[in-house]
A and B are shown apart, each in its own frame.
Chain A
Amino acid sequence: EAQVTQNPRYLITVTGKKLTVTCSQNMNHEYMSWYRQDPGLGLRQIYYSMNVEVTDKGDVPEGYKVSRKEKRNFPLILESPSPNQTSLYFCVVGEGLGNQPQHFGDGTRLSIL
């Protein structure tokens, strides 16, 4: 069964305390991406990766870092979180170009106080 696993699912933390949201997949797909969801704005892409060691910025990359050292993992790093990064985050894994649906993780709800 295709799985995209995000951890943690919920986190409340304070401004400036570094945190990492992990994402792992069991499908051996090249494409992985992070989105954030905010009310009235839908989901917006933060970063994406086309393969190991290949990452690029999405539409809202400020304040985030990512790495892709192995194919199955794509962690999202907030070096110095701020309250405007309070959001619902989704990791997305893709099969390839075309009309195939992408696989979403269950989401991580971050609250930065």
Chain B
Amino acid sequence: AQKVTQAQTEISVVEKEDVTLDCVYETRDTTYYLFWYKQPPSGELVFLIRRNSFDEQNEISGRYSWNFQKSTSSFNFTITASQVVDSAVYFCALRGIQGAQKLVFGQGTRLTINP
């Protein structure tokens, strides 16, 4: 069975601090895909990044960066110099080759950036 764990339920930091959101996953598939989504207070889900299991390169996009480590089954997300607009719930998700495209989501991490 596939599983995604986001152990941090809530995180609160002061603006401009760096913050890392943890994501640990379980799967028996040898090929799989990992995603991060952002859910602002308005409620919609905003796609942030996808990662293939065979591509372990880390990625940086502006203030956002992702660290994929297959050896520890982790796909962590770091926000550098956080801003109030980063306040949201963040979801990590996994999709395997099997399972008819089902996305398996973690529980979500509520991130609050205080001015």
A binds B: yes
Do A102 and B102 form a contact, CB below 8 Å, given A42-B108, A107-B44, A109-B43?
no
Q: Given A40-B9, A42-B91, A106-B44, is A97 in contact with B107 using a C-beta cutoff of 8 Å?
A: no
Our pick among B6, B33, B43, B45 for the contact of A99 (Cβ within 8 Å) is B33
- In this complex, the interface size class of chain B, counting residues with CB under 8 Å from chain A, is 20 to 34
Pairwise interchain contact B35-A101, C-beta atoms closer than 8 A: yes
Cβ contact within 8 Å between A90 and B45:
yes
- Separation of A90 and B38 alpha carbons in the complex (Å): 14
Q: What is the minimal beta-carbon distance from A98 to any residue of chain B, in angstroms? A: 8
Cβ-defined contact, A48 with B101, below 8 A: yes
Residue among A45, A48, A104 making CB contact with B45, cutoff 8 Å: A104
How many contacts between A and B, using CB within 8 angstroms? 56
Q: Provide the B40-68 mask, 1 if CB < 8 A to any CB of A, else 0.
A: 00011101001110000000000000000
In the complex, which residues 1-58 of chain B have their Cβ closer than 8 Å to any Cβ of chain A?
A: 4, 6, 9, 33, 35, 43-45, 47, 50-52
Smallest Cβ-Cβ distance to A32: which chain B residue? B101
**Are A94 and B44 in contact, with the CB atoms below 8 A?**
no
Asked, given contacts A42-B107, A104-B44, A107-B43, whether A97 binds B102 with beta carbons under 8 Å apart, the answer is no
Additional 18 contacts, C-beta under 8 A, given A43-B93, A90-B45, A99-B33: A31-B101, A40-B9, A41-B107, A42-B6, A42-B108, A43-B103, A45-B102, A48-B100, A48-B101, A48-B102, A56-B100, A94-B101, A96-B101, A99-B52, A102-B101, A102-B103, A104-B44, A104-B45
* Nearest 4 A/B pairs, CB to CB: A42-B105, A43-B105, A104-B45, A99-B33
A-side interface residues toward B, CB under 8 Å?
A: 31, 33, 35, 40-45, 48, 50, 56, 58, 88, 90, 92, 94, 96-102, 104, 106-107, 109
